[in-house]
Amino acid sequence: MKIKNLVLFLLMTFMIGLVGQSIFAQIRTVSGASYVQRCDRSKLSPIKCGYYEEGFQDGVNDARRNRSSNYERYDEKFEDKYESFYRDGYNTGYRSIRSDNRWTDDQRDAYEKGYDYGEEDKDRGISRLPLRYEGRYNKTYEAYYRKGYNDGYDGRRKQYNTVIGNTIGRNPRFPNRNRGNRRRGTQTGTINWIGRVDNRANIIIRNGQVTTDTVAGRLVQGTQTVQGIIPRRNATYSVRKLDGRGGASVLQQPNRANNFTAIIQVFDTRGGADNYRLSISWQASNTQESYQSGKVVWRGRVDQTANIRISGDFVDSIDISGSGLSNVRYDLEGYLAARRGSVTVRKRDGRGTVSILEQPNRQNDYTATIQVFDPDRGDDEYELEISW
């Protein structure tokens, strides 16, 4: 019996050790807070987890170097559709190293000044416009000024030492003009394509990416370099063949009906394959896109404050303060065009308040920002209908 008990004890010790290693491989504890370092691959795809884990490491590195928290400095590392996974990983990694969010005197002063201006504008019955007082506050701490302004305008109690994000030069909690450029692209540009074609192949340009599809013949092998940023709006494409015995032509121009997809076709009529080199150019329409009505039905659990940003078909949900967002999902109909417009919001469910921080305009790269404020203890489920 003693030998049997000893064997059971050693087995249990071994199993506990394995479980402990598994837990500590995923959880990192700093100052009493737990941070998930690795993604649950049973729930998310490998590519989503890859973006999360890369973001986590970048956040850790920035915090160790005493840099400001700003995941957007790495925007060339991720595609827009995976941004939320990279961002969540970055923010978690950053907070795992720097959990002390106490503001400096300069940050608190900027917040106080913004709060006073926001409260004054509300009392005077004029529109919400933080930029009205540009030049009267330190631009280095604009993020704190703008948070103070909006808290004062909305009549919220003052909130110090909350996580704001980047503290130098710009505020990632609000629209960034450069990000819209990356989504809608530059007005002109060129794609230099090199490949080997047998019979017929299509070069497909959509959502900032270039792919090649074999229509007939052997599998096409192609590479490309892009000068400029491929736009997601109406544009006129042209193609010039530099090498190759066959021909190349524009099969489809991009428009809203085809999800802004351009198709260039290469046709090689002789037997066997040949090497081709093409110069594909675009001339995009004016950035003032035609108006199209639409709406977003947004759902999620909010604790304290969250911002929802909409631009084109891009919807971003950002935790401003509190314990974080959870269970976020949305349904999008239509497209918020790159032009001045008017967005409205209707709260379907939730105990707190909902307001429009910014209407789309040139200054904010035609991005609408809606804020949810939940003042009570704990989080609550919200459902919003945002229309334009």
Per-residue tens of pLDDT for the chain, all 388 residues: 445 554 454 555 444 444 433 333 343 433 333 445 667 777 778 888 888 888 888 888 877 766 667 788 787 788 878 888 888 888 888 777 765 557 778 888 999 999 999 999 999 888 778 878 877 888 778 888 888 898 898 888 887 776 554 333 233 333 343 444 445 678 888 999 999 888 888 999 987 788 888 888 887 778 888 888 888 778 899 999 999 988 999 999 988 778 788 999 999 888 888 899 999 999 986 555 666 789 999 999 998 889 999 987 778 888 887 777 888 888 888 888 877 789 999 999 999 999 998 998 877 778 899 999 998 888 899 999 999 9
Asked if residue 199 and residue 279 are part of one domain, the reply reads yes
pLDDT at 343: 94
Q: Same domain for 277 and 296? A: no
CA-CA distance, 92 to 99, in Å (whole number)?
Answer: 10
Residue 184: helix, strand or coil by DSSP?
A: helix
Whether 211 and 204 have beta carbons less than 8 Å apart is answered as yes
Q: Identify the helix (H) or strand (E) that includes residue 97.
A: helix 83-97
Same domain for 198 and 280, yes or no, is yes
The residue out of 226, 250, 284 marking a domain boundary is 284
Cβ neighbours of residue 262 closer than 8 Å, sequence gap 6 or more? 204, 205, 206, 235, 237, 250, 252, 253, 254, 282
| Rounded to 5°, angle at Cα 117 from 116 and 119 | 65
Does residue 69 sit in the same domain as residue 146?
no
Contact 251, 239 (CB under 8 A): no
Q: Residue 178 falls within a domain, yes or no?
A: no
User: Are residues 226 and 280 both part of a single domain?
Assistant: yes
Among 234, 249, 284, residue at a domain's last position? 284
Does residue 372 contact residue 385 with C-beta atoms inside 8 Å? no
Among the three residues 112, 138, 173, which one is the final residue of a domain in this structure? 173
Coil, strand or helix: which one is 23? helix
Report the pLDDT value the prediction gives residue 98, as an integer from 0 to 100: 63
Q: Is the Cα torsion angle 327, 332, 337, 339 positive or negative in sign? A: negative
Number of domains present in the structure of the chain: 4
Provide the token pair at 113. Answer: 């000044």
Round to whole Å and give the CA distance between 243 and 311.
Answer: 40
- The separation between CA 331 and the C-alpha centre of its own chain, rounded to angstroms, equals 17
> Are 361 and 329 members of one domain?
yes
Per-residue model confidence (pLDDT) at position 117: 94
The predicted model scores a pTM of 0.40
Domain hosting residue 235, numbered range: 188-284
- 213: how many CB neighbours lie within 10 A of its CB? 12
Q: Does one domain contain both 199 and 156?
A: no
pLDDT at position 207, please?
72
User: Do 14 and 80 have their domain in common?
Assistant: yes
| Same domain (yes/no): 195, 248 | yes
DSSP reduced 3-state for 234: coil
Check whether residue 197 and residue 160 sit in a common domain: no
φ/ψ (deg, to 5) at 241: -85, 125
Shared-domain flag, residues 244 and 296:
no
CA dihedral 204, 205, 206, 210 (to 10 degrees): 90
Task: Report if residue 169 sits inside a domain.
Answer: yes
Three-class SS state of 152: helix
Query: What's the confidence (pLDDT) of residue 289?
Result: 62
Assigned domain for 182 exists: no
In a domain, 179, yes or no: no
Residues 160 and 217 in one domain: no
